[in-house]
C-alpha cells in the first residue's frame, strides 16, 4: 500500500512536471516570524539564547501591545516548540487573522464558544490574546538559529554534528532556564509538536528535576518511539549501509526546496489536491481532508527548514532499533562516549512529572498509534489528559495547520493550560 503510494507519487511528478504556476500573493506567503507577528498587530522581542555547547538560538517573545509593561511580568510563560525540520512560525500561519486584542484569560465554556473561529487556529496568537507570555523557540540549525559562539554553519562541518541528543541535552534546558530567569517564574508551560515533544520526553527522562520547571507539558502529535512511523525515512532506514553513510557524510539537511518544488510541479497550488495528497504523504501523512487548500502554498514554504543530517539519521537508527537510543556512532566510538557498544536508551520510567498531556490521532502516520500506546505504557505516571482527536483523518501536520484546529486542538490545549495559570 505504501510503496504503491510512493510509486504513484513519482509517476505524478513525472506526468505533471510541465505544470508551471505563479507564486502565491497571499500576505503570509514566505513571511518571516517577525513579519507574521507584526502583521497581526503584536510586537516581539528577539532573544539570543546560548546553549552550554555554544549554539545561539533565536527565540521570539510575543508581546501583546494591549498589556501594559507592569502587568506583563504576571503572564505565565509558555514555550511553543516546533518539530523536525520545523520553524517557530509553524504556530503562527494556520489562518488569516488572530490579531492582537486586549487579553483576558477566561476559558469557561461561554468564552470558548466565542473564541471558536478559524482566526484562533493560530495557537501562538491565541495564547497571546489569552494573557500568556508566549515564547516561540527555534531549534539549532534552522534559519533562525544558525549561530554559534565559535562555529560558522556555512564553513564548519562541526556545527552540524548534532542529533536529537543535543536538542535534549542542550537546547531544551537552555530555553527553559533562560525563560524562567527572564520572567522570574518557577515553571513554564511547554507545547511541543512532534520532535518538539520528543525532546521534552527525553529531558524529563534524563533529568526528572525538570518536572518541577515544566508545568504543563502538552505533547501534540507525540513522538518517542518511531518503529511504526510511515515515512520515507522508514523505507530509507532499511537500505543496507545507508545510516552509516549518512553518519559519515554529516552536514546539514533540508527538504524544503525539494518538497516545495515537487508540490509545485504536481499542482498542489492550483487545486490538484488529489495529487498533492500523494506528494505530501511521505512527509506528513496521507489525508489532506482538514487542510485549507487555498493556503497550501503558505504552508509549503514552511515545510522543512534545515536541521542536521544526523538528526534524520538518528530517527532512522531508532526506526531500525525499535527503541529510543542515543545516537549510534558505531561500536568503537560508542564505547568511548557511552562506555558500552550499544548506545543507551532514554528511560521513560524515570519520568515523574504528573503534568503531561498527550494529544494524538489515529490518522497520524508519523506518530503511529502503536508507538504512542507504547510511549504511554512505558511512562509510568498518570497522564493529565490523554486526548485522541475524534477525527480519524487528522494527520501529523493537522495539529498545526488544520482548518478546524481551534475546535480540535487549541481549545483542548487552552483548557489544560488554564488550570496551571497561577502555578
Ligand atoms: C477580552 O475582553 C476584551 C474586553 O471585553 C475584548 O475586547 C477582547 O476581545 C477579549 N479577548 C479575548 C481573547 O476574548
Ligand atoms: C463545559 O463543556 C463541557 C463539555 O463540552 C462540559 O463537560 C462542562 O460541564 C461544561 N462546563 C460548564 C461550566 O458548563
Ligand atoms: C465550534 O464550532 C463548530 C462548528 O463551526 C462546532 O461544531 C463546535 O462544537 C464548536 N466548538 C466549540 C468548542 O464551541
Ligand atoms: C548571533 O548571536 C548574537 C548574540 O550572541 C547576535 O548578536 C547576532 O546578531 C546573531 N547572529 C545571527 C546571524 O543571528
Ligand atoms: C537571572 O540570572 C542572572 C545572572 O545569572 C542572575 O543575576 C539573576 O538573579 C537571575 N534572575 C532570576 C529571576 O532568577
Ligand atoms: C522528580 O524527581 C526529581 C529528582 O529526583 C525531583 O527533583 C522532582 O521534585 C520530582 N518531581 C516530582 C513532580 O515529583
Ligand atoms: C532554496 O530556496 C531558497 C529560497 O527560496 C533559495 O535562497 C535557495 O538558494 C534554494 N536552495 C537551493 C539548493 O536551491
Ligand atoms: C483559507 O485560506 C485562504 C487563503 O489564505 C484565506 O483567504 C481563507 O480565509 C482561509 N479560510 C479559512 C477558513 O481559514
Ligand atoms: C487569569 O490571570 C490572572 C493573572 O492576571 C491569574 O491570577 C488567574 O489565575 C488567571 N485565571 C485563569 C482562569 O486562568
Name the residue with cell 527503541: 323
Considering the domain boundaries, does residue 14 fall inside one? no
Q: What is the pLDDT of residues 355-377, one digit of tens each?
A: 999 999 998 888 999 999 999 99
- Measured from the alpha carbon of residue 181, the closest ligand is 5
Report the C-alpha gap between 281 and 270 in whole angstroms: 18
Residue bearing the CA closest to ligand 8, atom 9? 96
Q: What is the pLDDT of residues 142-190, one digit of tens each?
A: 999 999 999 999 999 999 999 999 999 999 999 999 999 999 999 999 9
Q: Which residues line ligand 3 (CB under 6 A)?
A: 112-113, 116, 407, 411
pTM over 0.85: yes
- How many C-beta atoms lie closer than 10 Å to residue 423's C-beta? 12
Considering the domain boundaries, does residue 292 fall inside one? no
Considering the domain boundaries, does residue 317 fall inside one? no
Residue 219, SS3 per DSSP: strand
75, 100, 104, 127: residue to mutate for ligand 1 pocket, most atoms within 8 A of CB? 104
Please give the pLDDT value at position 300.
76
Catalytic residue, candidates 148, 314, 325, 396: 396
- Ligand 6 nearest-atom number relative to CA 353: 13
Residues 6+ apart with CB under 8 A from 37: 43, 44, 60, 62, 92
Tell me how many domains the chain contains: 1
- How many C-beta atoms lie closer than 10 Å to residue 207's C-beta? 15
Domain that residue 370 falls in: 33-225+348-418
Residues 6+ apart with CB under 8 A from 101: 66, 129
**Cα dihedral 261/263/267/272 (nearest 10):** 180
At 205, phi and psi to the nearest 5? -75, -45
47, 177, 178, 181: residue to mutate for ligand 5 pocket, most atoms within 8 A of CB? 181
Please give the pLDDT value at position 281.
52
Assess contact for 101 and 127: CB atoms under 8 A.
no
Expressed in angstroms and rounded, the spacing between residue 122 Cα and the centre of ligand 6 is: 33
CATH number at residue 391: 3.40.50.1820
Considering the domain boundaries, does residue 220 fall inside one? yes
Expressed in angstroms and rounded, the spacing between residue 125 Cα and the centre of ligand 4 is: 25
Instruction: Flag residues of the chain having pLDDT under 50.
Output: 1-21
Cβ–ligand 4 contact at 48 (below 6 Å): yes
Considering the domain boundaries, does residue 332 fall inside one? no
Cβ–ligand 5 contact at 181 (below 6 Å): yes
Determine whether 396 is an active site residue.
yes
Determine whether 16 is an active site residue.
no
Report the C-alpha gap between 85 and 106 in whole angstroms: 34
- Ligand 4 nearest-atom number relative to CA 144: 14
- Measured from the alpha carbon of residue 179, the closest ligand is 5
Catalytic residue, candidates 165, 171, 364, 398: 364
Report the C-alpha gap between 256 and 293 in whole angstroms: 19
Residue bearing the CA closest to ligand 4, atom 4? 48
Sign of CA dihedral 322, 325, 328, 331: negative
Please give the pLDDT value at position 191.
98
Catalytic residue, candidates 89, 137, 163, 194: 194
Determine whether 194 is an active site residue.
yes
76, 420, 421, 423: residue to mutate for ligand 9 pocket, most atoms within 8 A of CB? 421
Report the C-alpha gap between 111 and 107 in whole angstroms: 5
Expressed in angstroms and rounded, the spacing between residue 181 Cα and the centre of ligand 5 is: 6
- Ligand 2 nearest-atom number relative to CA 108: 13
Considering the domain boundaries, does residue 126 fall inside one? yes
Considering the domain boundaries, does residue 261 fall inside one? no
For residue 359, list its beta bridge partners: 220, 387
Considering the domain boundaries, does residue 77 fall inside one? yes
- The half-sphere exposure of 26 on its side-chain side, counting CA atoms within 13 A, is 21
Amino acid at each position: 500500500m505504501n510503496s504503491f503510494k510512493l510509486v504513484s507519487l513519482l509517476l505524478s511528478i513525472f506526468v505533471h512536471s510541465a505544470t508551471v504556476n505563479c507564486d502565491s500573493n497571499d500576505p503570509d506567503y514566505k513571511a518571516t516570524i517577525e513579519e507574521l507577528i507584526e502583521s497581526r498587530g503584536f510586537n516581539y522581542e528577539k532573544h539570543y539564547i546560548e546553549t552550554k555547547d555554544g549554539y545561539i538560538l533565536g527565540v521570539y517573545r510575543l508581546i501583546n501591545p494591549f498589556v501594559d509593561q507592569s502587568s506583563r511580568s504576571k503572564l505565565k510563560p509558555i514555550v511553543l516548540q516546533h518539530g523536525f525540520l520545523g520553524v517557530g512560525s509553524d504556530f503562527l500561519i494556520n489562518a488569516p487573522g488572530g490579531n492582537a486584542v486586549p487579553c483576558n484569560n477566561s476559558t469557561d465554556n461561554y468564552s470558548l464558544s466565542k473564541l471558536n473561529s478559524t482566526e484562533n487556529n493560530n495557537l501562538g496568537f491565541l495564547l497571546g490574546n489569552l494573557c500568556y507570555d508566549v515564547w516561540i523557540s527555534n531549534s539549532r540549525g534552522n534559519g533562525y538559529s544558525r549561530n554559534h559562539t565559535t562555529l560558522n554553519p556555512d564553513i564548519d562541518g562541526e556545527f552540524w554534528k548534532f542529533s536529537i541528543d543535543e536538542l535534549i541535552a542542550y537546547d531544551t534546558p537552555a530555553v527553559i532556564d533562560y525563560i524562567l530567569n527572564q520572567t522570574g517564574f518557577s515553571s513554564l508551560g511547554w507545547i511541543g509538536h512532534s520532535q518538539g515533544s520528543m525532546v521534552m520526553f527525553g529531558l524529563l527522562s534524563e533529568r526528572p528535576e525538570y518536572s518541577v520547571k515544566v508545568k504543563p507539558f502538552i505533547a501534540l502529535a507525540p513522538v518517542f518511539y518511531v518503529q511504526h512511523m510511515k515515512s520515507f525515512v522508514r523505507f530509507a532506514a532499511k537500505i543496507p549501509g545507508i545510516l552509516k553513510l549518512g553518519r559519515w557524510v554529516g552536514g546539514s539537511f533540508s527538504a524544503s526546496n525539494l518538497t516545495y518544488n515537487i508540490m509545485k510541479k504536481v499542482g498542489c497550488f492550483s487545486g490538484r489536491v488529489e495529487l498533492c495528497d500523494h506528494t505530501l504523504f511521505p512527509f506528513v501523512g496521507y489525508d489532506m481532508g482538514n487542510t485549507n487548500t487555498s493556503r497550501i502554498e503558505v504552508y509549503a514554504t514552511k515545510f522543512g527548514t534545515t536541521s542536521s543530517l544526523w538528526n534524520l539519521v538518528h530517527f532512522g537508527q531508532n526506526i531500525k532499533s525499535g527503541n529510543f537510543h542515543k545516537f549510534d556512532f558505531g561500536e568503537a566510538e560508542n564505547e568511548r562516549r557511552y562506555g558500552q557498544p550499544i548506545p543507551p536508551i532514554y528511560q521513560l520510567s524515570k519520568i515523574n512529572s504528573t503534568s503531561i498531556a498527550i494529544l494524538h490521532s489515529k490518522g497520524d502516520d508519523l506518530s503511529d498509534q502503536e508507538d504512542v500506546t507504547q510511549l504511554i505504557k512505558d511512562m509510568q505516571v498518570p497522564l493529565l489528559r490523554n486526548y485522541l482527536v475524534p477525527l480519524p483523518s487528522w494527520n501529523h501536520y493537522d495539529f498545526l495547520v488544520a482548518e478546524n484546529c481551534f475546535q480540535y486542538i487549541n481549545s483542548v490545549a487552552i483548557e489544560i493550560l488554564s488550570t496551571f495559570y497561577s502555578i
